[in-house]
Amino acid sequence: MRPTGKLHLGNYMGALANWVKLQDQYESYFFIADWHALTTDYADPGRLKLKTLDVALEYLAAGLDPERCTIFIQSHVPQHAELNLLLGMMTPLGWLERVPTYKEQQENISGKDLTNFGFLGYPVLMASDILLYQTQFVPVGLDQSAHVELTREVARRFNSMYKTTVFPEPEALFTPSPKVPGIDGRKMSKSYGNTIGLTEDPAAAAAKIQTMSTGGQRLRQTDAGDPDLCPVGDLHKVFSAPEVAAETQRGCRAASLRCADCKALAAQAVCALTAPIHARRMELESHIDQTWEMLRAQSAKAAVRAEQTMLEVRDVLDLSHDLGSVRRYFGVSEEEHNNRRDLNQYKVFAEHIYSEAGIMALLPSHWRTYLLPKEIAISVAPDEMWLTSKKKRVLPIAGTYSQNEKVWSFEVPQKTYEVWVLLGRDDKNWLENFVVPQKYYSQAFAQAKKSLKKDEKIPVTVQKLGDRFLFSIHGSEPVDITELESNYAPLT
């Protein structure tokens, strides 16, 4: 969501309530689009950080949980801007001009000059927001379907132009969006000044509902009404229990229920939902520093995932933050090749800007970019499966290191691969890599699958004993894989 201040019931029912459910069904990313806010509000950014915090507090109060999803600020993840720039290079101008909301907003938003580059190009930034996480689904309403379709076209054009599969084509996940009327009967909108705040004081919300329009019906309390034509009736359909909604329907049509009592029942239903959210918001406001630190940590987590994608994008476009993979084309010696395993020479690993989990997530792309010999090509399919030129399925996986035991520990999914690439850094920040063909693990792997549940990952270890490396699957008899260290023959 763009940070335009506190959210209202329309925002909640139209998106946020559904996001709270989705965080338990998918690996989900929810962000506050502060750069998007500047596409229209660039002339008045003074309260942008405050509004960003407002939205973050609303997210948390409504039930988004940083333990179950990733909540971050767009501008804290610079890869969004980098990908936006690169995709902008190849997105046709005509695609942007035909986006329905481009002309609609120019016509409907008065008092702002929207003839700026950022506003025209915001669909590319939106596409970058989505594609940066190699997204499968985007939860949107029908009014946003054009943006998802444009994102699909941008992904398709990139993959086709560069003969790659970096970006899957995301699908719109259309979500229920019930009609929530404003207090004047029109669509609830801040621009109309007719909103009921998601976290405003319940007494204030109830008072607003008592002033609501009834659509010009029941001028006398003895007049029968049609609740389907009344904004208060719409509130009951969304927020009231079925039996209460049915009672108000009957009472309105029979003129046996006073409008004031009908509104009171609607206010009771709305406040039953919002009162706990309001209380949670008040609690969060008393610990604002903790919320800000959470956002910083979550943004760093998002940046790790974003950097995985950007490593692939830069590789496709032959860009790099250092000499990188181009070294492979200059006939370097074995000694120089081994030196590339020293992660201290790479900023991303040397400055400890990411957590251990983040480092592990980046290692496979780093290995593919910097260590893989030039004559070996590995592609990444839309389902993130790595494939050699001969269609061998490759599992690249990083492990954690125990300095005391000199053991790397891995967790391998119960899927079939022809080759495993086991990656681990030691206590000196040196990258060990073992390319293990199926014959080394097929028997022990099959045995481990029998003893574990279907969804459990299989524990694998590599232990360093002097100059030797011993490989074991779920406690199986160790196998010497020293000859497989930096041996890329299984990939040919």
CB atoms within 10 A of CB 445: 20
Mean pLDDT of 2-16: 94
For residues 255 and 217, the answer to whether their CB atoms sit within 8 Å is: no
Closest among 313, 466, 455, 471 to 399, alpha carbons compared:
471
Whether the predicted pLDDT of 325 surpasses 60: no
Q: Express as a percent the part of the chain with pLDDT over 70.
A: 96
Whether the predicted pLDDT of 365 surpasses 80: yes
The per-residue pLDDT for 406 is 94
Query: Where is average pLDDT lowest: 106-110, 123-127, 303-307, 312-316?
Result: 106-110
The per-residue pLDDT for 358 is 85
Give the Cα separation of 205 and 263 in Å (integer). 11
Query: Where is average pLDDT lowest: 59-63, 80-84, 180-184, 326-330?
Result: 326-330
H or E, element range at 461: strand 458-465
Mean pLDDT of 23-31: 97
The per-residue pLDDT for 309 is 93
The per-residue pLDDT for 323 is 59
Q: What homologous superfamily does CATH list for 199-285?
A: Tyrosyl-Transfer RNA Synthetase (1.10.240.10)
Give the Cα separation of 150 and 169 in Å (integer). 10
For 33-86, how does the pLDDT look when each residue is reduced to its tens digit (9 = 90+)?
999 999 989 999 989 999 999 999 999 999 999 999 999 999 999 999 999 999
Mean pLDDT of 248-263: 95
Q: How confident is the model at residue 217 (pLDDT cuts 50, 70, 90)?
A: confident
The per-residue pLDDT for 170 is 97
For residues 101 and 146, the answer to whether their CB atoms sit within 8 Å is: yes
The per-residue pLDDT for 344 is 87
Query: Where is average pLDDT lowest: 78-87, 298-307, 335-344, 439-448?
Result: 335-344
Mean pLDDT of 184-192: 89
Closest among 177, 254, 261, 246 to 214, alpha carbons compared:
261
Top pLDDT among 345 and 401 is at 401
Closest among 214, 189, 216, 205 to 239, alpha carbons compared:
205
Residue 492 in tokens: 């040919």
Helices (H), 13-141: 17-22, 34-41, 48-62, 79-88, 93-97, 100-108, 117-120, 122-131
Whether the predicted pLDDT of 102 surpasses 90: no
Return the residue matching tokens 């490759």: 394
Domain positions in the chain are 9-180, 199-285, 320-491
The per-residue pLDDT for 112 is 85
Whether the predicted pLDDT of 440 surpasses 90: yes
Give the three-state DSSP class for 276: helix
For 453-489, how does the pLDDT look when each residue is reduced to its tens digit (9 = 90+)?
988 999 999 999 988 999 999 999 999 999 999 999 9
For 376-417, how does the pLDDT look when each residue is reduced to its tens digit (9 = 90+)?
889 887 677 899 989 999 999 999 999 999 999 999 999 999
H or E, element range at 280: helix 259-285
Mean pLDDT of 149-175: 94
Top pLDDT among 329 and 407 is at 407
The per-residue pLDDT for 330 is 58
Query: Where is average pLDDT lowest: 115-119, 140-144, 276-280, 333-337?
Result: 333-337
Whether the predicted pLDDT of 331 surpasses 70: no
For residues 399 and 406, the answer to whether their CB atoms sit within 8 Å is: no
For residues 71 and 28, the answer to whether their CB atoms sit within 8 Å is: no
The per-residue pLDDT for 251 is 96
Highest mean pLDDT among 136-145, 154-163, 350-359, 368-377 belongs to 154-163
Whether the predicted pLDDT of 110 surpasses 80: no
Domain with residues 9-180, CATH architecture? 3-Layer(aba) Sandwich (3.40)
Mean pLDDT, the chain, as a whole number? 91
Top pLDDT among 331 and 154 is at 154
Give the Cα separation of 398 and 18 in Å (integer). 34
CA distances, 305 to each of 61, 79, 110, 135, 485 (Å): 26, 10, 39, 11, 27
The per-residue pLDDT for 357 is 85
